Chains A and B, each alone.
Chain A
Amino acid sequence: MKTKSLFAIVMVLLMLSSCYSVRVKVTNGPGGEPAETETEEVTAGELIRTLDTVAKVGIATKENPINLPDCESGGLHAVEYRTTFGGILKYLITFGRKRTVKVKYVCNKKTNTGVIDLD
């Protein structure tokens, strides 16, 4: 019994420590898609989109990516990937067959620049 609970504690600690988030941001683009929101997050002023899905193994592979169709500019400004405790649990319970994917992303601002002809 003792070893069991010790094992459980170690597992929980391991899972907790494997929760992380990574934010990746383009430095030389036109900037993020703007939004007027009242948030106090670090991303205030940017339109945050979220991809929240459960991917079956084999679905989200190199040949078969999860598509993001909603960036009007066709480009990404920032991506935040977060692993959660629940996500890791699901991964373990399903023996790696299902993965929770939670990605927040900001599209590039759609630019409207170019040349004009005055003739």
Chain B
Amino acid sequence: MATTTTEPRVWWDTLHKNGRFDLKFFLRTKLEKESNMPSLLDRYNDAADEMRRLIKEADDNDEGFRSIGSKWSMSSIAHHPDRMHFTSNMNIGFGIPGNGVHANSTYKSENLFFFQCGNEIKEISHFLESKGKSLKASGASNGQTIAGCISTGVHGSGLDIGSVQDYVVGLNLIIGPNPEDVVYLERHTKPALNEKLPQRIKARIIRNDDLFNAALVGLGSFGFIHGVLIEAEDRFLLKRYVRKIKKQKAIQISNTMDFQPLANEITEEVDAQGNANRPYHYKVFINQYSNDDDYVIESIYKKPFDPNYKQIHGDPIPFMKQFIYRDLIYLLIKISEKFQKAIPLFIQALSGTILPKEKDENGQEKNIVGQLSEIFWDAGYQGKAFACSFGVDHKNSGKALEVLTKLTKDDGPIPGIFAMRFVKQSDATLAFTKFPVTCMIEIDGIQWNHKEDGIISLHEYGKRMIEVLKANNLPFTIHWGKNAAWDFPGLAQDMFGGDVQKWMDIRSALLSPRMAKLFSNPFLDTLGLSQLSSPVDPGLIVSL
């Protein structure tokens, strides 16, 4: 039997200490030992029974229940004051045999893999690589769980790939305490599995595009995500270049997504006709406190897999550690360690160019080649950090960057620096990557004490950011897992318009009123997303 320990607690916090938050009970579930229950599917079903029991227990006590992943989110999205549940040890994973694939499926069985919620990106990559496969994309790092990723909509800079949820093609949810509350969702227009696996995991199949898209970025509130079906692809290599280019050029590329200006910056990535190759990933690093004429950009290109890549190009991991513009957050922490709590000194340090040079000891540009899991590797930092991240249409990226950096200097100075990444549109109803190509403008930094440091509070800063975007008529979204003034009036509607009601209607149709309450949390309440629609339209959740 899968076992759960229940620990009474009075508080809980995120990895980066963005709380503290009140808590009654912290639960941890471990799977039955393989030696006692060798079949993966038996262990999976056994865990499902345990989850139904935990949901019932919370319901019997009239309490809420929220599963969490690696607690990497910095907003309070993962928090529930009643019962929080740690899932990282729930990590079953397997490929889908050919006879499990739907007759009308466009997916190849060899690319379909099923992962239980607590699988972290790192271990998924490890498993897929052993099969000659790879994830299509990830965030900048690899410690989040797969369920945690899709619940907020984790992105990298996949221009033509999208975010993590965009390669999820099936969802196994547990939406209540009863056997019939185990459901398997997928799109009716893109079925992936026939009835065999859903039958084995005792799940009711519902094929419905709108339902699937609503549940996909479910904010932890669409029931317990027990497992996800993903589409992987053949392993590939990524070649990463970091260059300093004129600010104007970097912004022009961001606004247009025309990469031709890179042709004479990265001469290796030009075809025979002189056209610049389209990168897999494009990122701009912005130190708003520097008067330098250049921005640092990171441009990454997809290459066919070559088993000898390490012999030819060297082991990417030591190179990534040596040359990387480490996730900015890490860099900032390094600096803050030197300057202790003296934010003004820290800001002064930011005024110069603080990003390390992307060159080796001989002054040569060092390009790095590795697999996805190696280029987007472990995050090397822990500690008190904040991150705010706004999604805008890439066409507005230059303008949005201008107003946000101006605010950051004028109303701050805020101890963080900006970056922009670009992501393909998602089909998920509440994905913050909702524009045809979304530019995610992010500021990462260290937390400050607004009273001691004489800077506006993080909450006030978050509010001012929303205000300046609205004042400049720049439609925006916010990363669900990052810091923001989540109580800004009408925020959800501002970001998603009519899709908010659609999401709430579908959620109200799928979950019973008691379960809708159990699976919501104060974060959802603040945003007005926990409201129940009445009357409920059962037609919204029929299998099509």
Chain A residues engaging chain B, CB cutoff 8 angstroms: 27-31, 34, 36, 38-45, 109-119
On chain A, the residues within 8 Å of B123 by CB distance are 30-31, 109, 111
Q: What would 11 A/B residue contacts be, using CB atoms closer than 8 Å?
A: A28-B126, A30-B122, A34-B88, A41-B382, A42-B382, A44-B15, A111-B93, A111-B126, A113-B91, A114-B40, A117-B97
B41 within 8 A of A: yes
Bound complex: CA A113 to CA B40 (Å): 8
Q: Please, which residues of chain A bring their CB within 8 A of the CB of B40?
A: 112-116
Among the stretches B26-34, B56-64, B218-226, B243-251, the one at the interface with A is: B26-34
Contact between A30 and B143 (Cβ–Cβ < 8 Å)? no
Q: Measured between alpha carbons, how far is A109 from B127 in the docked complex, in Å?
A: 12
Which of B10-61 touch A at CB < 8 Å?
Answer: 12-13, 15, 17, 26, 28, 31, 34, 40-41, 43
Collect the chain A residues with CB atoms within 8 Å of residue B89's CB.
34, 110
Q: Is the CB of B34 within 8 A of A112?
A: yes
A70 to B100, CA, bound (A): 38
CB distance from B192 to the nearest CB of A (A): 14
Known A-B contacts A34-B120, A45-B143; A114 and B126 likewise in contact (beta carbons under 8 Å)? no
Nearest-CB residue, chain A, relative to B94? A116
Q: Are B91 and A109 in contact (CB under 8 A)?
A: yes
| Interface residue SS majority, chain B | mixed
Q: Quick one: which of B91, B95, B122, B196 contacts A115, CB cutoff 8 A?
A: B95
B488 contacts the other chain (CB 8 A) = no
Question: In the complex, what distance in Å separates the CA atom of A30 from the CA atom of B317?
Answer: 15
Q: In the complex, which residues of chain A have a beta carbon less than 8 angstroms from the beta carbon of B200?
A: 116, 118
A27 to B92, CA, bound (A): 22
User: How many angstroms from the CA of A38 to the CA of B34 in the assembled complex?
Assistant: 29
Q: Which residues of A contact B120 (CB under 8 A)?
A: 31, 34, 109
Residues in chain A near residue B31, CB distance under 8 A: 112
B86 surroundings in chain A (CB, below 8 A): 36
Closest chain-A Cβ to B311's Cβ sits at a distance in Å of: 15
Inter-subunit contact B127/A118 (CB<8 Å): no
Which residue of A is nearest B316, CB measured? A27
Does B99 have its Cβ within 8 Å of any Cβ on chain A? yes
CB contacts (< 8 Å) of B143 on chain A: these are: 31, 45
Residues of B within 8 A of A39 (CB): 382
Q: Are the C-beta atoms of B382 and A29 separated by less than 8 Å? A: no
